């Protein structure tokens, strides 16, 4: 008797699910489109389409940026150490500050092993043909590497860079 009740209950559940699915399908055919811009357009408006992984200075190094509400940018730089104590070690330097205004991007990393970076530039369209392609967006601007020595003297090296967005498949790994 209990098996029969269970079968009956499962049958009712499956019937209800099928009915609900059929009703949703009918509603989507007859319902007018919802008002307001598409979700992709809303996200694009805030610059979120710029979020992703970009090349950095050397092969194997990268910068990850995430555009959040009100243009706040979080992320980190992953790079190989070049000092005596960290030569060849992989170092992650999280953003201390980051801001996106329109397509203008600025960020400063935390100091790791007496080194920090500052980027001032813009997010621009690159050579990629469609979203998800390599270099669909690029970070173009001035990257300054700041190094503090044992005597607390800061040395800065600044140069123009073009950091290419990684292809979408590579960013998901």
pLDDT digits (tens, 9 = 90+) for 102-127: 999 999 999 999 999 999 999 999 99
Model confidence at 45, pLDDT cuts 50, 70, 90, reads low
Q: Percent of the chain, pLDDT > 70?
A: 71
Q: Token pair of 55, please?
A: 């090349």
pLDDT digits (tens, 9 = 90+) for 15-32: 444 444 444 444 444 444
Residues 136, 125 contacting (CB under 8 angstroms): yes
Full-model pTM: 0.71
Q: Token pair of 12, please?
A: 């009712």
Q: Token pair of 148, please?
A: 């503090």
């Amino acid at each position: 008797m209990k098996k029969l009740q269970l079968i009956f209950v499962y049958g009712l559940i499956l019937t209800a699910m099928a009915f609900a699915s059929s009703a949703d399908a009918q509603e989507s055919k007859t319902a007018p489109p919802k008002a307001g811009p598409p979700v992709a357009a809303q996200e694009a408006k805030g610059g979120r389409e710029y979020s992703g992984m970009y090349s950095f200075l050397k092969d194997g190094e990268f910068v990850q940026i995430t555009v959040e509400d009100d243009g706040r940018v979080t992320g980190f730089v992953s790079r190989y150490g070049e000092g005596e104590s960290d030569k060849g070690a992989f170092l992650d330097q999280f953003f201390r500050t980051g801001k996106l205004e329109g397509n203008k991007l600025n960020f400063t990393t935390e100091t790791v092993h007496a080194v920090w970076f500052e980027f001032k530039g813009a997010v621009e369209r690159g050579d990629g043909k469609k979203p998800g392609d390599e270099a669909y967006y690029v970070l173009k601007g001035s990257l300054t590497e700041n190094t503090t020595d044992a005597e607390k003297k800061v040395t800065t090296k600044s140069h123009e860079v073009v950091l290419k967005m990684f292809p979408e498949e590579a960013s998901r790994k």
